[in-house]
Structure 1
Amino acid sequence: MPDFLKSLTIYPKLVLSFLLVIVPIYISSLMMNRSGQDIVQTQISDSMASRVHFYTVSLETELARLTRLKWEYLNDDDLLSLANTPERLDDFERTQAILSIKNKLYLLKSSSPFVENVTLYIPALNRSINANNFDYQITEGELEAITDSERMRSALFGIQGRLLMSGAYPDSVYADRAPVLAMEIELSRAEIVRTLSSMSEGGQGGVAWIDASGRWQVSTNTDSELLELLADGLGSYEGNEWPQRGQLQMVSGGVAYFTAHEYSPALGATLAVFTPAKTVMQPLSEHRNWIGIVSVIALLLVIVFSYWIHQLIHKPIKRLIGSFRKVEKGDLGVRVYHVNRDEFHYVYNQFNAMLGQIQSLIHEVYEQRIRSQQSELKQLQSQINPHFFYNSFFILQGLVQMREHDLADKMFHHLGSYFQFITRSGAENVTLASEMKHARAYVEIQKIRFSDTVLVELEDVPIAWESVMVPRLIVQPLIENAYQYGLENKQADGLLTLRFREVEGNRLMIEVDDNGEELGDSRLEEMRKAIAAADRAMETTGLLNVHRRLQLKFGEDCGLQVSRSELGGFQARLTIRREEGEE
């Protein structure tokens, strides 16, 4: 048996065994449904692609026939005779010729259901001949459109919602001269839409015929969002870059569609048919319903079985484990009770009795340890209080002897603040803000002593840490050490910095750096070893004193660390901790 199974508790093992029976059945059903869905989707897609190809070829064939007829008419002898030499005909002959041309145009219109109207413009007569209207006169803008060389290169083009084919004689694309004949064939949008509608099955979905340049389109569906998605899906291609054939999947208005399309180079347009996905997948709906029913039944069985096991076995075990975890966190007052008179009732009673005995023993040991720590704290702190007292009065004596009365006055002021902090309270702990205020008073005293030879940079205490309680006199000894052993002999450009840095574990680092030049690597290593063995020393002073008191207050992962500063001198780094909820 794998190791991870051995580590599982009884409850997940029982549930896992039940799932090993249900899950394979469920997965096989899903795979069968997926396989059937893929087969049906492939068949439908092939059918849609086949229909699109058939209608694309049909449209190409019909429009190619109309193009041939257009050029046959433009090269007709009677038309050319009327267009080139209208002055040779009298009014009667001219009228007869126009009527004959109108009949020919009507025959062209009647030859295809896709033709809505045919118009011939004869510049020599300055008039238009229309298959549907004898008095129709083509507008100047429409004439410019149908004789535009770019439009005549296209099989089809659109103007004001109309779908047109045009031609001129001579062909203005290749001959730089005014045409003597211009023909316009207007296609019937209604007939095209009716023809395209037969492509969509059951009246659902739709068909769209879209120009490659995006200048016209014919569709059986008025959903503008769906048509925009289709145009975006096909992209904006020109010539051979347009995708010849393909399939797309789109979502419009919360409805998914399958789309098959084919591009016609001859027409410069794409024919696309789109069908709702729910229609395509309808044959599998009943099978999916059964899959859903089986899934619900299996889920209910798993839930009922899991709940039964949970109530009888897992819940009592979980309650006991939760109690053990509370004990691990130090809560020895937790108690558990079991109503049923079974094995868990006995285990719970023994657990409660065991905690009562442990609580009694811990109380005795804890009280003894606290008394011992308080005694050690008082002893350690008493060693610091006289230390700065001696140094301060030596400095003051020197100022008086040199008759520096103003500096002596400042010295008295800062000394007063300093010793007020020392003597005003016998409390072992103060806020970090108070400790830093005391350290600043000490720095002001040292500034008087060192004048301008040492620059001091002290950061402000982070607001969230101002009220955190710390042992008294933990920062000032670090600054005193920097002055005494690093900056004492600096003649100029001395630098002392104090910075704060928050780290993970809800801790704060206080870093004191100097650029002194007297600290050697051997001395630094000796200090590291002394700090590491500070808990075993019988007497501790200076930095070791600070380190030991911090560990007694905050634990073994806090205290003092020493290293080479980036400034080149000595760095002392204090680490303190803020308890949860302490602000």
Structure 2
Amino acid sequence: MRYLRSPNIFQRVVVLFLIVIIPIYVLVLVIIHTSGVILHKEIAGSMESRISSYSELIDSEINHVAKLKTEYMYDEDLQQLSTVSIILTDYERLAAVNRLSRKLQLFKDSSRIVQDVQVYIPNIQKTIGIMSYSKPMGDEEKAMIREVNTDHSPKIVSWQNQLILALYDPPNSGARTNFYFKIELSPHLLIESLMKITAKEDGRFYLMDKANTWMLSNASGSSEQKPQNAVQAFLNGSSDPQNSGFGNLTLDEENYFGAYRSSNYSNTTLLVAVPDRQVFGLLNRYSQLFWILSALSIVFVFVYSQRLYLLIHRPLQVMVRALRKVENGDYNIYLKHRKHDEFQYVYGQFNMMVNRLRELIHEVYEQRIHTQQAELKQLQSQINPHFLYNTIFVLHRMAASYGLPDVTRFTDYLGKYFLFLTRTGASEISLADEWNHAIIYTEIQKIRFADRIEVVWSELPESFHAIRVPRMIIQPLLENAYKYALEKKRRNGMLRIAAAAEDGNCLRIHIEDNGEHLEEEDLKRLVYSLNEGAINRETTGMVNVHRRLQLHYASRAGLSFERSELGGLKVTIQIPQMEENEHVPTADCG
């Protein structure tokens, strides 16, 4: 059976926190849902109450107009003009018309929604209006008035872009008509009277007749067919389109919550629509708070769990990964722990262990390299090393026999130089031999550079002549000075080599030049190459000398770099004095 891995500490902590948080999360969700249902009902009830109030207001206004219209039907002047105008004198007829016109003005002023009032009297073939006395009423208009009054109830109809309340007298279809009474309602005044219904919200209202032949609205573009169709579709889709109801609808690509009420008296329907963002704004805020709380809860769980993870689990994982790297042979690893706790101590001990392992391996590795290099030199030395020296010696005797002193001197130096290089034997020589070999090297360079470079040597302290040092520790430093500092100088080059004993047990050899191209960054790079072991083309020889000195003297010797008083680089070789037949220095040059 396959082994099932049990959850780690971090996973268990997360699960525990989720068990605590989830019931609270569900409780908040139930509260928000319940609040939403209650809020929805309250908003619907509030809107229905307002719609009912304004719908009754419209019915009341229309009823007021209808009553005034009925009262004016029995006006004495209207009756005289419509029945016995033929027996009236011109003066009496004109006076009756003027009085009736003023009464129509009073009729208009007594209503908040009437725009104009007109009475057409067939007996005198004239239409009397407010301060007007015009031509007869057309047959189409009379037919419209008869058609809308078939049930003798006040109806608002749309005729030639006008909203009309009309009647005629007598209402009996078989009798002769005495007059036609036409009242024009003002759409602007109707809209204005309904504006307060949406004053608190950025909402819309629609007032229309049940037949959907006309519609008034405070919404811009309400005369377009698209909103009208949306409103009609909403009403047709309601459960009780003939009375009242509420629901959701979409107007101009925005969601609205709508409520409506129909009036059988005025044959109108009033619909109010408020954007969902305002109707359910409070509910949306609750929802946002819920999601914020949910997010914060999740963040809290993971932050706290992560905190535990950082304190315990992660340091252990770091230690395990580090041990695996060491197991795979990676010793260039260093663990850091910022907090002052037990893990800082464990990490510190681990770093000390890895560093010690790395040092031991490095020493073994370098010892192997030096052994291989020694073997290679031994193989190379099997080629007769004296052939080159003998050839140069023959050249030296020929130059002497021909009286060429400069060539004689040059070949003498060159022969001694190659004799030193091809000499076999121990890897250590006396410091005096190393010192003399370096002098021969500078003499050869003096012949090469003539008067361009001046070389100044000091005396080597006699007490250090016999000490044993690794071969070739001075010449690579001189070669580096010539190549990178003095070679390009046309004149006034300076190379100074001085040796000084300190406390009688430590020797410092200073090699200085007056090169002009040493920048501070170059000097820092040289120091870094010694401390970190970084090697590049320009520092290979010097770093090798430094490492060989440290290996030979147990890290108590080596090189150091600083800026020379001459302006160039100053390299200092530190060599402790060792007792005869001993491999441990008697003094530390640090």
TM bracket, shorter-chain basis: 0.3 to 0.5
TM-score, structure 1 length as denominator? 0.47
State the structure with more CA Rg. Answer: 2
Q: TM-score with structure 2 length normalisation?
A: 0.47
